[in-house]
Amino acid sequence: MGIPMMVNDKDYYTTKDQKRSVYEEALDNTDPDAGKNRASSSRSSDSSKSAGSLDVKRWKYNGPSISGMREGDFNLYVMKTIRSRKDEFRKFMIDRLVDKRVRDEETQSRDRYARQLSAYRIQQIRQEVVQNYDVEKKRLREEHTAKHLGSELTAAICDFLDLPGVIPEGHVNDNGFASRLTAQLANDEPGPPTTHPAAGLSHLRSNAVLDMHPLWGPQAERTPVLARVVRPRITVGGQDNAANIGVGGVVARENPTIARSAWQDRSVRRDDLPLEENWLDANRMTQELDPDLPNGNKIWVQPGTARIDEKGHIYLNTSRSSKEAIAVKTAKEEPILQATSGAIYTEPAVAPPGTKANANFGVGLPDQRQLKGRSFKGFDGESETVTRIKEIMAQGRS
């Protein structure tokens, strides 16, 4: 069906969900150092982008999903994995604090057009961090109490254990850097995906493709697909604002704004029409199931985009197809000609005299907007060529 696989991604600058392709560089990666490499390249161009790694997200992690673990599993994970790595985490935090101090001083040095820090200065910074490690650890813990997911300690723990994002709780801190950290660490999904976000279903990045028909040429809409109505809007249990349809083995839900306009359509099936003609009435097909209709209720739809959650469920967005697209698919010429007849250019009709569009300056007055045509008398008198032609014709008669 040619459906691009998308993912709902919340931007740091806005709270709206933005659809992004799962094959973008910032999403389609499994390398833990991908964010660090991007951050190092961004620091060379702009010091304000030192947290460029926050824009890089992965779909596969080495650590477990803590938000989806039970209490017993979490305690077992802490006892077997974390407690034995205290010394390793201390060395990791020292290296992280040293890198942050070096970045800050290099930024100030570039502002003063100074050289890069020497190896001796970097060694001094490391010694200062080692001596004051307990003070820095206390500061990070106090910051974590106030900022939670937006703290530096949370980011350090997630990097050290390679943990996926978690669901944020409470109000996001107003601090800009803390909000960016929260945007990186927070995730709307309950856990990491079990497969690649595309699951091998499609390799398209967007819907910016054009279908070419061998007879009718390029099409404005994608090729429609015949979908089966699985659950109509009106059932025994009650009424719903949208119907569930089956498209290519996936159960999708119609857009409620499209289906809401057809609530009062209760026309019955016409037996004198072919089966394909009944399927053209999408409003009636999605309202109630017709047990006497051969092959069941079906409608023509156009698949839009799809996404897969962490449990492997497919969410497909569809829209109803136009009559012209259905006619091209079913090789019906009459609906195509009716749809394209409005696009043929025709001369505008002349408005009646005396109206606003054609004032005509009244009935008794001439229309000065048009040039007055010359008479034959005036033309003959002004043209010497015509006079010479008459003389030649007179000589020929004699």
pLDDT of 170 reads: 44
Q: Give the closest residue to 343 by CA, choosing from 223, 220, 222.
A: 220
pLDDT tens-place values along the chain, 398 residues long: 788 888 876 554 455 557 788 888 777 767 666 655 554 554 444 433 333 344 567 777 788 877 777 888 888 888 888 888 889 999 999 999 999 999 888 888 877 766 777 888 888 999 999 999 999 999 999 988 888 777 888 888 888 888 876 544 444 444 444 455 555 555 555 566 677 888 888 888 888 888 888 888 888 888 899 999 988 888 877 778 888 899 988 899 887 766 555 444 444 455 555 666 767 778 888 888 888 888 888 889 989 888 888 778 888 988 888 888 888 888 877 766 666 665 544 445 556 666 666 665 555 555 555 545 444 444 444 456 667 777 777 776 66
pLDDT of 56 reads: 67
Residue type, 99: D
Residue 73 tokens read as 């599993």
pTM, to two decimals: 0.59
Rg of the chain in Å (alpha carbons):
37
Contact assessment for residue 296 and residue 289, using Cβ atoms and an 8 Å cutoff: yes
Residue 200 tokens read as 């091998």
Q: Give the closest residue to 196 by CA, choosing from 52, 5, 361, 15.
A: 5
Strands annotated E in 166-313: 212-213, 217-218, 225-231, 234-235, 238-239, 244-247, 250-253, 298-308
Domain ranges of the chain: 29-185, 212-341, 352-398
Please give the Cα distance from 102 to 107 (Å, whole number): 9
Q: Give the closest residue to 249 by CA, choosing from 309, 288, 303, 211.
A: 303
pLDDT of 285 reads: 83
Please give the Cα distance from 197 to 195 (Å, whole number): 6
